[in-house]
Amino acid sequence: MKIKHFVNLEWKQYFRSPYWQKSIGLKILMGFFGLYFIGMFLLMGIGIYPILKKFYPEQDPFIIVTGFLFYWMIADLVIRFFFQKLPVMSVKPMLTIPIKRSKIVNYVLGKSALSFFNFLPLFAIIPFGLILILKEDYSSGTIVFWMLTVFIIAFITNFLNFIVENIISKTELSFLPIIAFAGMLFTLNHFEIISFSSLLSKAVLSITENPVLILVPIIILASLYYYNYKILKSKLYIDASVKNKIKEANTSELAWTNRFGDIAPFLQLDLKLLWRNKRAKSTLPILVIGLLYGLFFYPQPKFAETEFMFAFIGVFSTGAFLINFGQFIPAWDSGYYKMLMSQNFKYKQYLKSKFTLMAISVITLFVLGIPYVYFGWKILAAHFAAAIYNVGVNSHVILFGGSFNRKKINLDERAAFNFQGTGAVQWLIGIPLLVFPMLIFGLINWLIGFEVAVGVLVFLGLIGIVFHQKIMKIIVKKYAVSKHKMIEAFNKET
């Protein structure tokens, strides 16, 4: 089977799917993001030369930029890990017909080479290279080989990312290993224990002086490609997907949840979901990040004067779990949603358990964040107001937004920043969750004062708490109306 047949099959699969039209808005939005980054890289490529000449008139811009390639490579690797996934195709049906596995693997890896991430650097290095040729004494051959080397480094990062993902996917640490790895390299370089930036810079400059050395990065690229090839080919068997995994069963009765009455069974399901599944576990490290989020801002004196940011940090810090877990309600249960909805229970019980879990997380994070009072009582007051607002307003907003979810979540996929199951709802819900409270708090703080701004957030939160039962009736009714649409969507979503 030739490559064109693979392309033809994916083309038909894409346009015959009943969901491609529903997600076309999101694809258009991502297209605009792509154009935005292309424009930014073009501006960077054009503007970096005059900027460096202005601030470092005695230094060569070419040498400066080459010296920063290490930092670009580390940042590129981390960004790819979060946002770039290995292109996949439905290979199971092909494994039963006479198609060489090597062709399937080469097609998947070749498709990854066409990633947007691989070609984005060209929009910066080509304008910068042309400016160097026109305004400096560098020969066109030197600059061309420099650009070619940077381009190859982008492809090296591409295939290195898939190896890192494969290794980390075997652990339960989510994205923490890649952050630790990148942080370690940065630390070693920063304190000049091992000067990676200097080593990489010298290597690239050596290639521009002796072009035959470009064979070295090409060999590295080929080696990484072959390693990825071996990994994918070893997994390309029919029985690989049904291979039994022997694990020690960890059971917990969760008897303490019984005190919550009729919602206890649903709370137990959610807690087991968070404990046992890779994708759901990704919400747990976010708790730590949310709790420590303020430490990125409050120790800096300049943020002491930006009081409008206190509400934003407070909402995110106390609502880290609410936001990251809540935005995928009820998609967490999409794998068995049809069965769940056929049971004899009230929808109100199901949604009340989600609300209770989110409210407990908000209270817990606020209590754990009380030490922020070290940076001032205003910060603690803002966090308290944000916690009340999260329970009374944001919890209801996120539950209501969940009634529009139509994307199924695969709980067995890699957890770290996995965007499978993410739709327009998840992008738009951030506006009422984070932007609105910050705008309300900032505007009132500017017009009247800090204490009144805190009081308004608390008041809005208390209104939501007082009218919780009536608000839940509206939300339950919306879920009941959307029930069959969600069942159909979760069944068809692949």
Answer yes or no: pTM beyond 0.85. no
CB 229 within 8 A of CB 106: yes
Q: What's the pLDDT at 491?
A: 75
Give how far Cα 136 sits from Cα of 116, 121, 122, Å: 30, 21, 20
DSSP at 393: I
Band (251; pLDDT cuts 50, 70, 90): very low
- Cβ atoms of 412 and 278 closer than 8 Å: yes
pLDDT of residue 301: 73
405-426 tens-digit pLDDT: 777 777 666 544 455 555 555 6
- Longest CA–CA span in the chain (Å) reads 79
Q: Which residue has the tokens 């004494």?
A: 137
Average pLDDT over residues 22-39: 73
Angle between helices 450-466 and 468-492 (to 10 degrees): 70
Q: Which of 180-184, 303-307, 335-339 has the lowest mean pLDDT?
A: 303-307
Q: Tell me which residue has tokens 């291979």.
A: 243
Give the per-residue SS3 of the chain: CCHHHHHHHHHHHHHHCCCCCCCHHHHHHHHHHHHHHHHHHHHHHHHHHHHHHHHCCCCCHHHHHHHCHHHHHHHHHHHHHHHCCCCCCCCCHHHHCCCCHHHHHHHHHHHHCCCHHHHCCHHHHHHHHHHHHHHCCCCHHHHHHHHHHHHHHHHHHHHHHHHHHHHHCCCCCCCHHHHHHHHHHHHHHHCCCCCHHHHHHHHHHHHHHCHHHHHHHHHHHHHHHHHHHHHHHHHCCHHHCCCCCCCCCCCCCCHHHHHHHHHHHHHHHHHHHHHHCHHHHCHHHHHHHHHHHHHHCCCCHHHHHCCHHHHHHHHHHHCHHHHHHHCCCCHHHHHHHHHHHCCCCCHHHHHHHHHHHHHHHHHHHHHHCHHHHHHCHHHHHHHHHHHHHHHHHHHHHHHHHHCCCCCCCCCCCCCCCCCCCCCHHHHHCHHHHHHHHHHHHHHHHHHCCHHHHHHHHHHHHHHHHHCHHHHHHHHHHHHHHHHHHHHHHHHHCC
Which residue has better confidence, 176 or 484? 484
The pLDDT tens digits for 445-456 are: 888 888 899 999
* pLDDT averaged over every residue in the chain: 80
Query: Could you read off the pLDDT of 341-381 as tens digits, one per residue?
Result: 777 677 788 888 888 888 888 888 888 888 888 888 888 88
> How far is it, in rounded angstroms, from Cα 163 to Cα 232?
10
208 vs 423, residue with greater confidence: 208
The pLDDT-based confidence of 10 (bands split at 50, 70, 90) is: low
Residue 334 sits at φ, ψ, to 5 deg, of: -65, -30
The more confidently predicted of residues 480 and 16 is 480
The pLDDT of residue 246 is above 50: no
Helices (H) and strands (E) in the chain, counts: 25, 0
| Between 280 and 480, the higher pLDDT residue | 480
